[in-house]
Structure 1
């Protein structure tokens, strides 16, 4: 099948390699012309994926019309802030029966919408979401990974399931697109908190408590927005939360460490040198929690630490000294 991956960052490249392994005809679209030339010269992206070679049969272009001319599956692997503009840009070039697969995780800050909703507002094609615990660095090296795909059109999701499934990449089908997307977006907030715990030198007890109460928060808001609790207990929820909170690959976890160590938000973003999706997700989730009347104390603590210069250590103390209650 002809497949085009929009975005030449780590995740986009890992998926392009996977799709090429599965004997699809793969095209990668690069936003930046200079980056495209460097990738063509070295057959690797030295900025974000050094040492991972891109096979010669994968075609690379910065021309959108060329990239989408024959694409039956189009993978949107751009940073979260570029999802809507990318959807707008591809609308004129998509084949009528092309399926769009979104792999970006987050919420649109201005509208608080899920990305499948954002894309669907700009194009008429079926939109499928792929999510779950899946660091690009491991997928590119064929380490066993399991994810989920979901869509309002399950037939489109089944097509994507077949195209992406590989011996090292197991793809499950999930009917709950709301839960799949919210699990992927909200876990980044808890990962910021996990990094802060690491930055302060706290131990395993603290991390376990954070992750457990974190999934409780994620589930409360997600269910209030129409998700199914089983989804949050699966790969798109707990699975993605575990990997993002514990892995050295996690940029959100790294950002949390830096914030706890006293770096400003701007300094943190500069040091991580990649998009930290948990930062806009925190603002969006904070607003959604107020709108839906859902209690999210960890999210509120991270919000105050990021946007109101609150002390991380003091915010943790506040969380620990809240009134005693039943676990729920």
Structure 2
């Protein structure tokens, strides 16, 4: 078993490091703060992000990027989307061999509308990596770290590389599928965070399961519309990285996007919510990117637009829900038919 470098010692990075350690790999874990690295190495805990979880001895944390990636054949990026460019630029200076880069970050960059794999390819020197793999799916870090059954998907341009990363992670509790649709896998993982914010807002307003079921279903239609306009296979959104990830993120208090939305629905303003969370809420940044992208692509995304107005125009959540409920009537199957027709005619 070789060494794997995991960059990002938050909840998801730590959980993935635990999976790799369980599979017999030596794991270098890059932490941003010395206090966190010391806690992981000395106490075998990461209580801020994964309270009560014991971290295996095979995981060694460090704040020095060069030490973490030294001798590693695989690098797993689990940092916030906004940090991807800087981390990749720094990797160019410290990688000592050709590696496979896998990212497990879920977001889209505002203004450029780049997916994470596109950002990595833009910033990394081509001679330093063989391919960029995305890992995504319905996977709360808290449950993964407890070795509860979880299923995810990996995707890359080259199937053999995706299959190698599949072998890296797969075990009895952590099942990994492969997909050829890297665009759909990335977009499903990123865009579902917007709908999770909406689900939290709905719950915070005190609306019931009927409203949330409608939000999830119509939210999926928006994800598929935008995704297919960018080249994704619409069938991807009916899989783990589409409806699977959407369900788990919209219905669980483990989801930081749901929790942030819940506070917004209760009347807290965005700045206050983000300060209380103390962790990155990817859905906020992705909402801005997706809203901008929908305008550019001329794709109708009323739910995303409504959440954008709540986040960035300070509109009242109840007013936004009223606006959504009184939109012009239409046929439910219209979206699905149009999406499939466009895909079949490509």
Report what 1:227 is aligned to. 232
For 1:225 and 1:19, locate their aligned partners in 2 and report how far apart those are by CA, in whole Å. Answer: 33
Partner of 2:150: 145
Counting only pairs closer than 5 Å after superposition, residues 128-277 of structure 1 correspond to structure 2 as 128-277=133-282
Q: What CA deviation, in whole Å up to 9, does each residue of 1:252-296 have, x standing for no partner?
A: 011111111111110010122211110000000000000000000
CA distance in 1, matches of 2:223, 2:308: 15
What is the alpha-carbon distance in structure 2 between the residues aligned to residue 292 and residue 274 of structure 1?
Answer: 31
The residue that corresponds to 2:117 in the other structure is 116
User: 1:303: which partner in 2?
Assistant: 308
> Which segment is superposed worse, 305-314 or 42-51?
42-51
Instruction: Tell me by how many angstroms 1:95 deviates.
Output: 4.2
Q: 2:90 corresponds to which residue? A: 89
Runs of 5+ unmatched residues, structure 2: 336-346
On the 8 A contact 1:14/1:136 being kept in 2, the answer is: yes
1:305–1:311 CA contact under 8 A, matched in 2: yes
Contact 1:72 1:95 in 2 (8 A): no
Structure 1 Cα separation of the partners of residues 295 and 111 of structure 2: 15
- Of residues 310, 315, 322, the one that matches 2:320 is 315
Shift of 1:96: 3.8
2:40 is equivalent to residue 39 of structure 1 = yes
Whether the 8 Å CA contact 2:103–2:132 is kept in 1: the answer is yes
Q: TM-score, normalised to structure 1's length?
A: 0.98
Deviation at 1:228, TM superposition (A): 0.3
Q: CA deviation at 1:59?
A: 1.8
Task: Write the deviation string for residues 39-90 of structure 1: whole angstroms up to 9, x where unpaired.
Answer: 2232111211121111223222122111111101110011221111111111
Give the length in aligned residue pairs: 328
1:276-291 correspondence to structure 2 within 5 Å: 276-291=281-296
Q: Distance in 2 between matches of 1:321 and 1:314?
A: 11
Q: Secondary structure at the match of 1:179?
A: helix
